[in-house]
Amino acid sequence: MSTTKLYIVRHGETANNVEYRFIGCTDMPLNARGMAQARSLNQPFLKIGLDRIYSSPYQRTMMTAKEVQAGRSIDIIRDYGLCEINCGEWEGLNRPEIEARWPGMINLWQFEPDKLHMPGGETLKQVQDRAVRSFMNIIANERGNSIAIVSHMLTIQLIMARLFDISRNDVWRMTNLENTSITTMEVFDDNSFEIVKWGEDSHLPMDLRNTSVKIAGFTENEKPVFDVSSVKGRHMLPKL
């Protein structure tokens, strides 16, 4: 039985991450700290014989993907399905600015995100549908290979939510994804899969880790309800 190995990576830190601003489709590069985080991916990925890398096309993900590539001649394929949520008129804004223009709406983002439709942007369902479609296509096209996928926090969490049939409203109650964290997954010929590691950040030096994960609009520091211990064992891939 062949095994497809997937290494799902969140991009490094950006300036707007630091300021908790919404930068879904805003094409921001990594900041200096984010580049240092991305470079810390060199060593763990040099130990892995990757066949291909798939990445969201934005600067922050492509810069991270280059560090996963680590100087090797591995193709990096741009996949627009892996992009972060389009925040529409919220792009570039922080929580106080959004609250001033759309009173009360920002609370949906934190507490009932599946009910939110940012003005001019996407819903969580729209992001999940396109991201899961891309994810499943990658698996179908890369059977038996080792693949890295570089994407964004919410996009990755929405993929994981579909895999484990977790409500989109619980997206912030899942394992917190640090910048450049690695989620390792194995997929088998019968379409069963297993999560080996979820949001692993042991490759990061202590000075490049955050005491709490920075999410646009607020800080996530509560213990997750859904983590690797709660999804142990084999599961079946969802059908599109």
Q: CA 101, CA 94: separation in Å to the nearest integer? A: 11
CA distances (Å), origin 189, targets 42, 139, 159: 30, 11, 20
pLDDT at 219 over 90: no
**Residue 81: what pLDDT?**
98
pLDDT at 175 over 70: yes
**Angle at the Cα of 187 from the Cα atoms of 169 and 71, rounded to 5 degrees:** 95
Neighbouring residues of 141: CB distance < 8 A, sequence distance ≥ 6:
none
Nearest to 26 by CA among 97, 91, 78, 71: 91
Neighbouring residues of 63: CB distance < 8 A, sequence distance ≥ 6:
11, 12, 29, 30, 34, 35, 38
Average pLDDT taken over every residue of the chain: 96
How far does CA 145 lie from the centroid of its chain?
21
**Residue 67: what pLDDT?**
98
DSSP codes joined into one string, 117-175 = --TTS--HHHHHHHHHHHHHHHHHHTTT-EEEEEE-HHHHHHHHHHHTT--GGGGGGB-
67-116 confidence digits (pLDDT tens): 999 999 999 999 999 999 999 999 999 999 999 999 999 999 999 999 99
Q: pLDDT grade, residue 220 (50/70/90)?
A: confident
Q: What is the mean pLDDT of residues 226-237?
A: 95
**Residue 1: what pLDDT?**
67
Q: CA 31, CA 64: separation in Å to the nearest integer? A: 11
- DSSP three-state, residue 7: strand
pTM for the whole structure: 0.97
Assigned token pair, 63: 């810069």
H helices then E strands: how many in the chain? 8, 9
What domains does the chain contain, in order, with CATH numbers?
3-236 (3.40.50.1240)
Q: What is the mean pLDDT of residues 179-203?
A: 97
